Amino acid sequence: MPGPVSGPDGARDEPVRGRPVRNPEQRFGEAQEQHALLAGEPILGQEGIDAALRVPSRPGGLDEPRGGGGDPAAVFAAEPRRLDQRRDQRILVGQQGRAQRRPVALRGARTQCGGWRVHAPNLGVSAARGEALWSRPFPAMRNLGPAPMTTEIETVRTVADLRARVSAWRARGGSLAMVPTMGAIHEGHMSLVRQAKGLAGHVVASIFVNPLQFGPSEDFEAYPRGEARDAALLAEAGADLLFAPGAGEMYPEGFATTVHVADITEGLCGASRPDHFDGVATVVAKLLLQCGPDVAIFGEKDYQQLLVIKRLVRDLNIPVKIVGGAIVREPDGLALSSRNAYLSAEERETAPLLYATIQQAAHALAAGHATEHALESARAALEAAGFRVDYLEARDPETLARLSGSVATARILVAAFLGKTRLIDNVPVPPRA
């Protein structure tokens, strides 16, 4: 690999790797597979970039710097986390104006800016062309301090491609965790990915808005979608692979199988959303069998769903450990949910009362009050605040059996409408002092 080179003005350029560059003498590794790879047309066109050079991987020759004049802009690239010369590579590329210190031009999916290092995920390149990107660090930018750089995420859309990627990890002895989602990623999902990252060497996140778990009058069509944004957030949280199948891949023509989990699906959300848990059980069974993870993480906000999936895995002997992830809340206590976006400004101000009310009921149970009295008081408080309560119950935290009287251990679960938005939440009853 050639060393740093000089542009027409004699200034030295340096390679940029997949982390902030602090040492001007930093180099790419000697091995060819460690090079960041580019291909095709100049990735950022001619937007006044006077510092970007393309260095062919073959010996000799050096492309002329692209662009010229204008406000100097730095170009940053990062090598992929896992390089495989047999597959297409993906890199991170960003451009930034020196004056405004904000990205001025990017190609790729929607990006996020952290300090002066910017990334553009989902930029496909080919290993066959093998060109490395070099970038000059402008002195004015050196003092901005290091900023975190996130990486792109590889996306597969077929079961065959998913299994091929997983098989390659397995062949090297890697462990695997899975975080299934329906997209509309928020900090709650990202916390599950980070939790998964601590439990396994590789993390697969999935995005699939499952039509089977939506009722005829529910919000399937309106459910928020934005894969580019979601992919960037999942990558930032540490996911290694995104499985984003279409409906035809999950439910091909002639699909005729439904998974039904009895008993634990009755009542609560199962009563007000008929067939919902059949759709959940069916898609989760398919995802777990398609991916074959060692562990799968599901959020505790959908507490009944978590227990349904644990029962599904136990009854069908699917070799995966199901782990619950703690509920992530806004500072005012509202549980994070993709459907919070449906709330009006006035409703959003009221929404935190849902959590506050069931917390109060949980503490009443912990103090020895009868379940019926605590729940009756909580329901009255919610209705007075403008909620239309679907259910508010104390259940056994393992079996979801209905509880009454004085209890030592319980989970309080609630579903309530605020306007047109259905919110769910749950809290454990704390141990008695």
Mean pLDDT, all residues of the chain = 74
Stretch 63-92: mean pLDDT, rounded?
32
Question: Which comes out higher in pLDDT, residue 375 or 127?
Answer: 375
**pLDDT above 90: residue 49:** no
CA–CA dist 252, 235 (Å, integer): 29
**pLDDT above 50: residue 382:** yes
**pLDDT above 70: residue 427:** yes
**pLDDT above 50: residue 106:** no
Interval 171-223: pLDDT, tens: 999 999 999 999 999 999 999 999 999 999 999 999 999 999 998 878 788 88
Interval 212-265: pLDDT, tens: 999 887 878 888 889 999 999 999 999 999 999 999 999 999 999 999 999 999
CA–CA dist 378, 429 (Å, integer): 14
Where are the chain's structural domains? 1-152, 154-325, 338-428
CA–CA dist 133, 117 (Å, integer): 15
Structure tokens at 150: 């996130």
Annotated catalytic residue, options 189, 276, 363, 373: 189
189 as an active site residue: the answer is yes
Interval 389-408: pLDDT, tens: 999 999 999 999 999 999 98
96, 102 in Cβ contact below 8 A? yes
Contacts of 278 (CB under 8 A, 6+ apart): 212, 213, 258, 259, 260, 265
Q: What is the pLDDT of residue 193?
A: 98
Interval 303-340: pLDDT, tens: 999 999 999 999 999 999 999 999 999 999 999 999 99
Task: Among 3.50.50.60, 3.40.50.1820, 3.20.20.140, 3.30.1300.10, name the CATH number for the domain at 338-428.
Answer: 3.30.1300.10
Strand partners, 64: none
Structurally, at CATH architecture level, domain 154-325 sits in: 3-Layer(aba) Sandwich (3.40)
